Amino acid sequence: MDRVYNFSAGPSMLPLEVLERAQAEMLCYGDSGMSVMEMSHRTPEFEQILHDAEDALRKLMNIPANYKVLFLQGGASTQFAAVPLNLLSEHKCADYIVSGQFSKKAAMEAKKYGDIAIAASSAGASPTFSTVPDTTRADFRPDADYVHICFNNTIYGTKFHYVPDTGNIPLVADMSSCICSEPVDVTKFGLIYAGAQKNIAPAGLTIVIVRNDLIGGARDDAPAMLDYKLMAENDSMYNTPPCWCIYMAKLVFEWILSIGGLEEMKRRNEKKASLLYDYLDGPGQAYYTAPVDKKCRSMMNVVFVTGDGELDKKFAKEAAAAGLVNLKGHRSVGGMRASIYNAMPYEGVEKLVAFMKQFAIDNPKIQK
């Protein structure tokens, strides 16, 4: 069977070149005589892989020396707890910007550990979460230990088009669905975390990039595995790390560097997203609706609907038969969602737009 174009929100496509390299090294990595999957993490070979992965990510994202990079497990959802357990260290209060289900979940988890306020929310937008809230410094409590934001809202297809001004309060960002898709100024954030399964690697790895001064404040009763200090002191090797995922992440980081880094990644991602949004705003408008506020459209997750639930279902089913899979929208939103992460080739989006055009011709809407 041919490979399909996989529009899944995650786990999602990996670059073909990376899969081929992993395939070539699958049975024997370097001179080790074994696969990375079989390798102890306490070997010089694996230590080199971990070192190279961190090095490549630091280069890619231009991560300053006063930030630690951690390779952890438990998904982004575990960080919903780890962040408050470590960072609610001074005033035990933090402010959350709620722009979708994941930031809502993050806030709910944090409420177990301190005084959490919702500083701003776009839940009341119509449709719900179809935009991101505007914020000013005055929205945040001066004594908040941190402000939390979800930078790209995977389910709703929105993205923050600005970095909130939080003054001296550290900004913590969930970048699960946009990390490494374009350059970001890491210095604007106290902590960035991301599940790797969209833009970086197979599921099972979580990246945390944390400023040194925010390490060391974990509560006494925080689980050891969630204590950033312990993880940092042990260079992410306190226990067995997700070795295979770290190896794959290294290959992906090196692939992005080889094509020209995050500037080039952004150029490619913008080109793909523009192809789809230009169609939705142009000829496609007669048939499809893109419900998201234009100024905060995601470059990674493109949401659109036909306005008819039955047609949406038919669309996803027939697209899958044509090799364009996982286009069904999130169960809470309906419609369609095309996740076009780093590894989605431009041709995949071209094929999707061609399919959308043909589907509109073949399925005229009946006025109800």
Residues in touch with ligand PMP (CB under 6 A): 9-10, 75-77, 102, 150, 154, 174, 176-177, 195
Closest contact distance (angstroms) between CB of 293 and ligand PMP is 18
Query: Which one, 46 or 160, has the nearer CB to ligand PMP?
Result: 160
For ligand PMP, the closer CB: 39 or 297: 297
Minimum CB–partner distance for residue 348 and ligand PMP (Å): 20
Least separation in angstroms between residue 167's CB and ligand PMP is: 25
Q: Smaller CB distance to ligand PMP: residue 245 or 356?
A: 245
Q: Is 77 or 289 the residue whose CB approaches ligand PMP more closely?
A: 77
The tokens for 364 are 């005229």
To ligand PMP, the closest distance from the beta carbon of 11 in angstroms equals: 9
List for the chain the helix, strand, coil content (%; round to 5).
40, 15, 45
Spatial CA neighbour of 46 closest among 56, 34, 57: 34
Please answer whether residues 123 and 94 qualify as being in contact, where contact means their C-beta atoms are separated by less than 8 angstroms: no
Neighbours of 31 (CB within 10 A): 6
Q: DSSP string covering 170-192, please?
A: PEEEE-TTTTTSS---GGG-SEE
- Residue 75 or residue 84: which is nearer to ligand PMP going by CB? 75
162 CA to centre of own chain: 17
Least gap, CB of 34 to ligand PMP (angstroms): 29
Distance (Å, whole) CA 14 – CA 91: 42
Comparing CA positions, the residue from 172, 291, 302 lying closest to residue 228 is 172
Alpha-carbon gap, residue 174 to 166, rounded angstroms: 16
Q: What are the helix (H) ranges across the chain?
A: 16-24, 44-61, 75-87, 101-110, 228-233, 243-259, 261-281, 309-321, 346-362
What is the nearest approach in angstroms of ligand PMP to the Cβ of residue 154? 3
Between 301 and 306, CB nearer to ligand PMP: 301
